[in-house]
């Protein structure tokens, strides 16, 4: 089993030391089960430091609001309420509402009630194994975002034994929350595989930020670069958390229609969007849909995405082609 939780760290091409702007400050920390780095620029160092300190605190607060693993937290309370109505923290309610919205939009490919599947398969734990079909069917009988009832006034309840997991949207939601703290100054937020690059990059001539796309089997390498500004770049892949059995890779993104990790021939999906929460939900959904359905979804909903397939081909949606350059020494090729 492999658990690599920081794949893009080395791949952001911002020479922070020389990043111009009047002053900058950075913070590195671990939250939401992943490594994070946030850098902010401001008129002076104290102001930049204040922004990153606030940002780190906000992410940690959101971890409490959005993680189902925190026993006293609002999501664990909702999951343990046995169908009773629970009053949630406003962030929990907001993120849950967004998750339900994206679930509906993706026809349930993104579904925040996959918790029983994550628990059953145990991906990322020492107990990871392929369960019996009967156990998968039992878990699936509780899966379905329609089981989430949003009642207004931060109140919600879960029907049919449903259990919520916001892991597929939490880092995106947190990236948006951090971006809201930056005033108008530049900020680069890297929350695991979620990156937010805001304002003009002080160290590049054109003001753009260059974000590397990790090579699936060697995430210290990059296969392509995306050039963005005021956008979030979010990647989901099958190489972060997985185990292998009988030559099959079982990873942490579940197809809610089968109850098993999605097997669609994709290695990763990246979405570029102003809203990181939306990008986060969409990467998970597109990974489940696979290339063909995923490209159709992108065309129908005006989504900018990059799909990397297991035959080392990179598919880029039309709107993003001008923003992507292939790495020179990669064996991956761009689809025509
Ligand atoms: P990562 O958390 O590695 O960035 P994702 O954003 O794709 O990757 O989220 C995967 C997480 O989302 C899983 O660990 C699980 O908690 C949850 N999840 C798995 N499958 C789905 C799905 N189909 N829809 C929504 N959430 C999912
Ligand atoms: Mg996601």
Tell how far the Cα of 172 is from the centroid of ligand 2, in angstroms.
7
Quote the pLDDT of residue 335. 96
Strands annotated E in the chain:
2-3, 23-31, 34-42, 86-87, 148-152, 155-158, 187-191, 194-198, 209-215, 218-228, 231-237, 241-245, 248-251, 254-255, 260-261, 266-273, 304-309, 313-316, 324-326, 333-334
Phi, psi of 84 (to 5 degrees): -75, 155
Alpha-carbon gap, residue 291 to 6, rounded angstroms: 25
Atom from ligand 1 closest to the CA of residue 112 = 25
Q: pTM, whole model, 2 decimals?
A: 0.93
For the chain, residues with pLDDT lower than 70 are: 1-21
Question: For residue 29, what are the contacts with CB-CB under 8 A and spacing of at least 6?
Answer: 35, 36, 56, 59, 60
Handedness of CA 15, 21, 24, 28 (dihedral sign): negative
Quote the pLDDT of residue 247. 86
Quote the pLDDT of residue 9. 39
Give the closest ligand to the alpha carbon of residue 114: 1
Quote the pLDDT of residue 246. 86
The best mutation among 171, 238, 252, 281 to test binding of ligand 1, ranked by most ligand atoms within 8 Å of the C-beta, falls on 252
Tell how far the Cα of 280 is from the centroid of ligand 2, in angstroms.
4
Question: For residue 283, what are the contacts with CB-CB under 8 A and spacing of at least 6?
Answer: 234, 235, 236, 269, 270, 271, 305
Phi, psi of 12 (to 5 degrees): -100, 120
Quote the pLDDT of residue 22. 80
Torsion on CA atoms 105, 108, 114, 117, rounded to nearest 10: -150
Quote the pLDDT of residue 178. 98
Question: For residue 75, what are the contacts with CB-CB under 8 A and spacing of at least 6?
Answer: 65, 66, 67, 68, 88, 92, 164, 166
Alpha-carbon gap, residue 124 to 251, rounded angstroms: 8
Atom from ligand 1 closest to the CA of residue 288 = 23
Question: For residue 80, what are the contacts with CB-CB under 8 A and spacing of at least 6?
Answer: none
Q: Which residues line ligand 1 (CB under 6 A)?
A: 110-112, 114, 118, 165, 167-168, 171, 192-193, 236, 240, 252-254, 256, 280, 283-284, 288
Give the closest ligand to the alpha carbon of residue 280: 2
Tell how far the Cα of 281 is from the centroid of ligand 2, in angstroms.
5
Q: What is the pLDDT of residues 210-247, one digit of tens each?
A: 999 999 999 889 999 999 999 999 999 988 888 888 88
Alpha-carbon gap, residue 187 to 177, rounded angstroms: 12
Q: What is the pLDDT of residues 154-170, one digit of tens each?
A: 999 999 999 999 999 99
């Amino acid at each position: 089993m492999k658990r690599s939780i920081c794949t893009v760290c080395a791949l952001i091409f911002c020479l922070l030391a020389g990043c111009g702007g009047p002053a900058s400050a950075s913070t590195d920390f671990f939250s939401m089960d992943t490594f994070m780095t946030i850098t902010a620029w401001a008129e002076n160092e104290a102001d930049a430091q204040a922004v990153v300190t606030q940002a780190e605190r906000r992410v940690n607060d959101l971890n409490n609001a959005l993680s189902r693993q925190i026993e006293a937290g609002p999501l664990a309370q909702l999951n343990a309420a046995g169908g009773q109505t629970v009053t949630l923290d406003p962030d929990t309610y907001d993120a849950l509402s967004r998750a339900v919205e994206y679930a509906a939009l993706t026809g349930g490919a993104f579904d925040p009630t996959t918790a029983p599947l994550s628990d059953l398969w145990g991906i990322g734990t020492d107990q990871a194994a392929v369960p019996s079909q009967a156990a998968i069917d039992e878990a699936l009988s509780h899966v379905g975002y329609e089981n989430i009832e949003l009642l207004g006034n931060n109140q919600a309840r879960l029907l049919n034994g449903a259990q919520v997991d916001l892991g597929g949207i939490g880092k995106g939601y947190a990236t948006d929350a951090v971006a809201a703290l930056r005033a108008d100054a530049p900020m680069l937020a890297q929350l695991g595989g979620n990156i937010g690059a805001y304002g003009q990059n002080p160290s590049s001539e054109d003001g753009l930020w260059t974000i590397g796309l990790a090579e699936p089997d060697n995430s210290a390498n990059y296969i392509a670069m995306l050039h963005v500004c005021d956008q979030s770049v979010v990647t989901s892949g099958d190489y972060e958390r997985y185990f292998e059995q009988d030559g099959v890779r079982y990873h942490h993104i579940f197809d809610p229609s089968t109850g098993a990790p999605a097997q669609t021939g994709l290695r990763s999906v990246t979405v570029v969007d102003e809203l990181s929460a939306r990008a986060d939900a969409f990467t998970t959904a597109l990974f489940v849909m696979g290339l063909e359905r995923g490209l159709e979804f992108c065309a129908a909903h005006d989504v900018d995405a990059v799909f990397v397939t297991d035959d080392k081909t990179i598919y880029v949606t039309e709107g993003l082609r001008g923003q992507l350059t292939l790495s020179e020494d990669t064996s991956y090729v761009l689809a025509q």
